[in-house]
Structure formats: structure tokens, C-alpha cells
Structure 1
Amino acid sequence: MKSLKKQRRIQIVALAVVALIGSFGLIWYASQDAFQFFRAPSEVIASPPAPTEVFRIGGLVTEGTLVRGQGATITFEVTDGGASVPVAYTGVLPDLFGEGEGMVGTGRYVDGTFQATEILARHDETYMPAEVIDALKEQGVYVDPNADVGTN
């Protein structure tokens, strides 16, 4: 009788371990597309990611590169001061999007062009995503917009 109880207990523990491993595997598989890594334009140029990899790119929209085509596709370049990456986006741009402004895009780097599926712009005249600020600081081109507050 004791050996039957012991055998049943071992079966339950083994089933629980298998269920735990299975649920962990399903969660990991489902969350693979949820993780998007941020890259600065200099990083993208230095080591281009695979065309299937979805990531975020951010920087400043380069002056004079914003082209609104005949269709819905808009092209421009994003820079961090060290390198520029051409971006193509099909859709409606945020109202605050413009040349010389900070932006973050989500998409893939295909054939030398970042194919964006989403574009985010600054929230107001002083906001810029932390990743973009860090990348611009590394390049030595970041200017704090609040630096001259209080000086007349």
C-alpha cells in the first residue's frame, strides 16, 4: 500500500514538473516578439541587424530629408550625430513630427532602409525618449533644452 502511494506521489510531481516546463516554454515563445531592443543609427550602420529582427531606432530627423511621396509612403533620415539611417514609413505621422525633432520608430532594417511600422514623436518641445538622449550624449551632440532656463 505504501509503495502505491509513493508511486502516485512521484507521478503527480513529475506531471507538475512537465506542466511547469510546458507553460514556461509557451510563455517564452509568445513573448519573443514583445521584446524590442533600442538601437541608435550608429549601431545600426556598424552592425546591421537581420532583416527579420524587429527593433526600435531613435534620433533626430535630419533637416532637409523629409519627403512626402505621391502615395502614403514618407521617407526621411534619422541621425544620432554619428550616422544617418534612411527610414521609410507608410501611414499617418504624429502631429508633432518634423525635421530636427526627436523620434523613435519600430520596424525592421531591410536592404539599407529602416522599414518603420510605427513612428513616435516627442510629446512637447522639451521631451525626448531617454534612449535617444543617451545616444545623442554618446555622440556629443545633445543640447539640454532646459540649460538656459532662468538666464535673461
Structure 2
Amino acid sequence: MTRKQKRLAIIGGGMSFIVAAVLLVMFAFGQSIAYFYMPADLEKTPVNPGTRIRLGGLVAEGSIKRGEGRTVSFTVTDGEANVPVSYTGILPDLFREGQGVVTEGVFDAATHGFVADSMLAKHDENYMPKEVADRLKDKGLWQHTEEGGQPAGASTEGASADKTGATR
């Protein structure tokens, strides 16, 4: 092998290594991505059962039902559509009816409901998850506060919990 051939072999091997590393990183990110949907989006574009998504909206009034143990069922709404949600775990302290929520999980084909394994709830009176606030603004359902006319979603901090109850 001449020097030129050795150099080309080393460059080719290095490029192959870089391409393989990039493909592995892309595959890893692709597995962890959870797309965001509102209830009305799910009526227009159904999601396959088992596909991991983030579901956001408001907790519908009168929809919270406590089950056995730490299981809670409730409905997420965006004013146009409703999606039944089941969550087993410790709820964030600020979870309640009429408040913004973003849940992450999968659809259950047997129950036709959403099974959440983590949840982000409203942090305080001035917070609503940005994705939910933007979608509610688009649908004309955004509520302004009484003082100063500032939208209720100006902050970007939230309290969340997963199945272990750990706050993030």
C-alpha cells in the first residue's frame, strides 16, 4: 500500500466512524421524542396506541376521580375536545380542575384512553405550560388576568411529578 492509499484508508475509516456515531445519536434522540398534542389535534390526527406523546390542556371541571391506591382519572380538554386520562403516581400539589396540565404517556387500545406516566401541573396563578398557553391562544380560549391584562401564562416554571412522586 502506498502512502496515498494508507491516507485514504484512514480518512475513510474515520468518516465511517463519524457517520456511525451520528446515526446512533439520531436513533437515541428519535426514541426519546414525545410529540405534543391537544385533545382537538387527536380528533383530527389519531395516534397509534403505544406511541409516546405529550398531551396538554386544561383539567375539565368535575372530571377528577380517585381510584384505588394512587390512581387518578380525569379529563383533559381544550374547549373543543376531551381526552380521558389515567395516571398512577403522586400528583403534583398544584393539580386541580380548571388548571393547565401537560401529561406524558401512551394511548391504551383497550380502554381508548390516555395512560400518563408523568405530569406537569400549573405552578402558580401566573403560570401555564407554554405549549398549552400557545395552543389556547390559537383557539381563542386564552384567559387574561384582571390586573394589567397580562396573560396568565407569562412565566415558564412549573411543578411536575413522575410515578415516584419526585418533583422536577
Unpaired runs of 5+ in structure 1? Answer: none
Larger radius of gyration: 1
The match for 2:125 is 125
* TM-score of the pair, normalised by structure 1: 0.90
Aligned match of 1:90: 88
* Contact map agreement 1:48 1:109 (CA 8 A) in 2: no
Displacement of 1:150 in angstroms is 4.8
Q: How does 1:105-124 map to 2 (within 5 A)?
A: 105-111=103-109, 112-124=112-124
Residue identity (%)? 41
The correspondence of residues 1-152 of structure 1 with structure 2, limited to 5 A, is 4-111=2-109, 112-145=112-145, 148-150=146-148
1:137 Cα shift?
A: 1.8
Q: Unmatched 5+ residue regions in structure 2?
A: 150-168
Q: Tell me the distance in 2 between the aligned counterparts of 1:105 and 1:93.
A: 11
Q: How many residues align?
A: 147
- Which amino acid is 2:78 matched to? D
Post-superposition shift, 1:15?
0.2
> Post-superposition shift, 1:13?
1.0
Secondary structure in structure 1 of the residue aligned to 2:2: helix
Secondary structure of 1:108's counterpart equals: strand
When structure 1 is superposed on structure 2, of 47-56 and 113-122 the one drifting more is: 47-56
Quote the Cα distance in structure 2 between the aligned partners of 1:58 and 1:36: 12
Amino acid in the other structure paired with 1:13: I
Over 4 Å off, 4+ runs: none
Secondary structure of the structure 2 residue equivalent to 1:88 = strand
